[in-house]
Structure 1
Amino acid sequence: MLKFDLHTHHKRCAHADGDIRDYIEAGIKSGLQVIGISDHAPYLASEDDHPNPRIAMAASEFPKYVSEMLELKEQYRGKIEVLLGVESDFFPEHVNLYRSIYDKYPFDYIIGSVHHSGGDRIFNRNRFNQLSDEQKLEMKETYYDLILQSASSRMFQILGHIDAMKVYFTDMGQVQTPAVDRALQGIAACGTAIELNTSGVKTCGSWYPADDILERALYYGVDVTFGSDAHSPARVASDWEEARERLKQIGFQRWVYFKRKQKILVPL
């Protein structure tokens, strides 16, 4: 049974603890055979080196991050497979710029995450106050349209936490729209994977995405990977076995990870 975790961070994003090595060592202690580091990419379209110092790494740190990762890949060869990843925001207007920069580096995979939708961050709790039913529907449809666009860009191997807007949009699951199914169908058509991200337990009491979305993902043939979204070494591989069992209960027979952007199938 191959054990892996593809979504981890470290101190460069300034809201995670520990060095990259700390996460790799935690992966070894957790029994992982494969660990991917995927810290938050800089805001690459900004003229400022570090416009959001508590959210993502500085642009000047990006090549240093890749260099350190490549060194650690070699240092840990034979002990654990270390994969070079990155978690990227998705801005439709900057796709070509981001792609041109990412193409310079030997990423094993890129996680595309929609953190901005409708002109604001999805984690701004105040934006969800006193919304009408029409506004809730519009907000959810805009979010899932961006997720579909992120898959269609074919810039990402994995889409991150595809219902994370529910953290403060607490009744998002009750808002019915075909936009979710359209997104899942598009994700399947592109061969992109979604992650079962176990970090939601600490923010909204449940994993990302919810079971009903996972069930529909299975129906449409979407592959799933695992990510703890660890922001501290102690959370590496958190709930891995429980996540594996949940996917089996839903009906999945496999999950996947990526190496040199190639999908590797792992039986559940």
Structure 2
Amino acid sequence: MKRFYYMIDYHVHTSLCDHAEGGMEAYIQKAVEIGLQDICFLDHLTMQPAADNLSMAPGEVPFYFQALQRLKQEYRGSINVKIGLEIDFNPDHVDFFQEITARYSFDVIGGSLHFLGGLNIASHSSPWKQGDLEPDYVYDLYLEHLKKMLDYNYFDVLCHLDLVKKFGWESSRSLDKEFNEILSIIKNKHMTVEINTSGYNHPAREIYPSFDIIKNCREQGISITLGSDAHKPENVGQHYDKAWPLLLKAGYRHLTTFTRRKRSQVAITNT
């Protein structure tokens, strides 16, 4: 019987982003309770005009970093507390992203894509959720912005790669070719793809990215990490019982962890 003996959650949030609940320590305590070895905070930094209640402010980053540094020391010996950011792509602020990621000794930087210009594809108030937009148009726009995002090097991990499917709307055509091209870029840039289990909470009702994309990641030799995208302490490690079989079926036996933006590999089973 396979035993999962190195468990991590590389994507949890804090109340600083204004749409998550619970104190930082509560997330860590939950991670210890369920037997995780690593927990990585990846709270939102979103430089968008319409990002109120979606992100910590840039001026809060010093507090965020120092508070987690204290908790990292306090819980040393019980769990590895890692500190990162989930930076939402905005080409107008790339210089700032590069500056702030260099200013602090973050363990990992995640890159995400929630905004396609002025369209927020993740918001429950978005016309995308309401079904008011043509799916092929939104998918094409998403892929266009994703490729633009991959022109930059300020992040280490690509978060929830196919988030555009969140509300259950599908393209009328196969996008395998387009996503394979994106995976080739990720491979050439030595980036890591996040396996994000929060999709099981959304109308998409599946993991981010899809199993087919995970298989293609494995075929191309792309490293993966694993995160719950928890916005409440009780969601730390959520849906891992569904994720593990998919990762093993795709052929993965290792996950990627980070320390001061340097990658390491940890075995996830005893086989």
- TM-score, structure 2 normalization: 0.88
4+ long deviations beyond 6 Å: none
Distance verdict in 2 for CA 1:154–1:173, change over 3 Å: farther
Corresponding residue pairs, total: 260
Whether 2:30 is the aligned partner of 1:23: answer no
Matched ranges for 1:95-114 at <5 A:
95-114=94-113
Whether 2:226 is the aligned partner of 1:264: answer no
| SS of residue matched to 1:156 | coil
Distance verdict in 2 for CA 1:20–1:131, change over 3 Å: closer
Task: Indicate the residue corresponding to 2:79 in structure 1.
Answer: 80
RMSD (CA atoms): 2.0
Deviations 1:183-218 (A, max 9, x none): 111011111111111111111211111111112222
Runs of at least 5 residues in structure 1 that lack an aligned partner in the other structure:
none
Aligned equivalents of 1:173, 1:167: Cα separation in 2: 16
Q: Whose relative contact order is higher, 1 or 2, with alpha carbons under 8 Å and at least 6 apart?
A: 2
Matched ranges for 1:108-147 at <5 A:
108-124=107-123, 125-127=126-128, 129=131, 131=133, 136-147=135-146
| SS of residue matched to 1:106 | coil
- Tell me which amino acid in the other structure corresponds to 1:61: E
Q: Which moved more, 1:106-115 or 1:239-248?
A: 239-248
- Following superposition, the deviation at residue 59 of structure 1 comes to 2.4
Distance verdict in 2 for CA 1:191–1:139, change over 3 Å: same
- Following superposition, the deviation at residue 244 of structure 1 comes to 2.2
Whether 2:14 is the aligned partner of 1:10: answer yes
Task: Indicate the residue corresponding to 1:62 in structure 2.
Answer: 61
Q: Which moved more, 1:148-157 or 1:5-14?
A: 148-157
Q: Percent identity?
A: 30
Whether 2:42 is the aligned partner of 1:38: answer yes
Aligned equivalents of 2:233, 2:172: Cα separation in 1: 31
- Following superposition, the deviation at residue 169 of structure 1 comes to 5.6
Matched ranges for 1:146-157 at <5 A:
146-157=145-156
Aligned equivalents of 1:169, 1:116: Cα separation in 2: 17
Task: Indicate the residue corresponding to 2:215 in structure 1.
Answer: 215
- TM-score, structure 1 normalization: 0.89
Q: Which moved more, 1:57-66 or 1:100-109?
A: 57-66
Aligned equivalents of 2:233, 2:23: Cα separation in 1: 9
Distance verdict in 2 for CA 1:145–1:92, change over 3 Å: same
